[in-house]
Amino acid sequence: MKALVLGATGFVGREVVRQLRVRNDYVVAHIRPGSGQRAQWLERWGELGATVDESPWDATALAAALAAHAPDVVFILIGTTVKRAKGDGVDGDIYQRVDYGLTKVACDAIRLSKLGCRIVYLSSVGADVQARSAYLRARGQAEAEVKQAGVPWAIARPAIITGDREDSRPGERAGAIVGDAGLAVVHWFGGKTLAARYRSTTNDVLAAALLRLATVTPADQIFDGAALR
């Protein structure tokens, strides 16, 4: 497989890159231009044998990168947090600017490149263009862009993602533990589908599932719950 990973430096993205390289796949890991951790990522991806791309977030520039690398699949694993957005100087509606905005740029680039690749998009359970949550609304809008990109796609909708993050999130871990305990009760009383849909997962398990979605047949499907484990 030849893969371009957008969001390669994120919690799930870095694990997707690692697992692809373990399989000896050809991987292009995108690094945000101007990243303060550029040297670290260049060293990390170099050690893994991944190719690094530093194209700016511009549809024309990304289209040129796509044409140069000709990936079979583009993993769009983009997202941010309030803390990270502040550190990067992103203001306003961060989810519109990052989660939705950069996904739109990526999809525009794929259309411009006329490349017959597949998109694997990491969304979230509850994503909906009509959602009250700004985050879930932006995810729903991003999903719409993916569906209209003109290429085969697969959308993953996990619930809480846990694991060994480089930035500590004790609240996330606690929420996952409490939530999973409640879902165990729901499962016991017959709500197996609901429990499976909302149960937390880890970044390594999710990354393995995303790799499977790169070749799943038929394409153009949304996956959540047990399908992502």
CA within 13 Å, CB half, 178: 6
In a domain, 70, yes or no: yes
In a domain, 187, yes or no: no
In a domain, 181, yes or no: no
> Which domain CATH number covers 19?
3.40.50.720
In a domain, 150, yes or no: yes
- The whole-angstrom separation of Cα 164 and Cα 126 is 24
Q: Specify burial of residue 167 (Cβ count, 10 A radius: 0-12, 13-18, 19+).
A: exposed
pLDDT in tens, 116-169: 999 999 999 999 999 999 999 999 999 999 999 999 999 999 988 886 555 544
CB 118 within 8 A of CB 219: yes
Q: What is the structure's pLDDT at 189?
A: 42
In a domain, 180, yes or no: no
In a domain, 46, yes or no: yes
In a domain, 175, yes or no: no
Give residue 157's Cα distance to chain centre: 10
Regions of the chain with pLDDT less than 50: 168-169, 172-189
Q: What is the structure's pLDDT at 87?
A: 61
User: Minimal CA–CA distance to 200: which of 122, 95, 125?
Assistant: 125
Q: What is the structure's pLDDT at 103?
A: 98
How many domains are contained in the chain?
A: 1
In a domain, 167, yes or no: no
Q: Which domain range does residue 59 map to? A: 2-162+201-228
Q: What is the structure's pLDDT at 140?
A: 98
132: CB partners within 8 A, 6+ apart:
none
